[in-house]
Structure 1
């Protein structure tokens, strides 16, 4: 995936309910205090990511900010991610984090799930 504005293209996103349910039903989950990740091995040529941010974390503006920060962090990590489908679920407390803290916590849980593979630009 190119570094064009650090955006995640639509082909790199999990959007359909059927796809979300498939990933959740695989029951491969990893968590830290701020994020939970469910993953599913697929035969895709690239990774796909889905985001889930509960209404309990805040109103629409807050939830959209959280999703924007997560998408930006995933775009930065894109060259080190394996070719799997995964869903990132934000936990309570994420709304208080700045971008660097989101990035650190997200990288930690991605490494736990073995989706993030260390590269030269770590």
Structure 2
């Protein structure tokens, strides 16, 4: 994932979380906020309770791959928070969970545009 698609500053991450728009399940929480860019940006947050560094880095790589393969993602800033229950998920389950959340955001965006 290119650097222009990453969110690194704590100030930006805190602002997205304080905005309090989120979609979640027992594995992931996806916070989102509109941005001024013509593309989406993303950050991934995963706690130490998930596992050791190898496991945490593996799921971050997988999540980046899922998001980069997803077509037509709305231009928002996203933070994906990984819960420790996601430890046993397979790649396909993880992909379908993230895709469902992105599709919900797309539907909500389309409804807001109609208003």
Cα distance in 2 between the residues matched to 1:37 and 1:13: 15
Moved over 4 A (4+): none
How many residue pairs get matched?
109
* CA RMSD in angstroms, aligned pairs only: 1.8
Structure 1 residue 93, shift from structure 2 partner: 2.3
The one-character-per-residue Cα deviations of 1:19-40 (angstroms, maximum 9, x if unpaired) are: 1011011111111121101111
Q: How far apart are 1:115 and its partner, in Å?
A: 8.0
Q: Please say if residues 81 and 116 of structure 1, whose CA atoms lie closer than 8 Å, have aligned partners that are also in contact.
A: no
> Which of these residues, 14, 17, 29, is aligned with residue 21 of structure 1?
14
Q: What is the DSSP-based 3-state SS (H/G/I as helix, E as strand, rest coil) of the residue aligned with 2:81?
A: strand
User: 1:115 & 1:67 partners in 2: Cα distance?
Assistant: 26
1:91 aligns with 2:103: no
TM-score (ref. length: structure 1):
0.82
Number of the residue aligned with 1:5: none
Per-residue deviation at 1:111?
A: 2.0
- Give TM-score, length-normalised by structure 2: 0.87
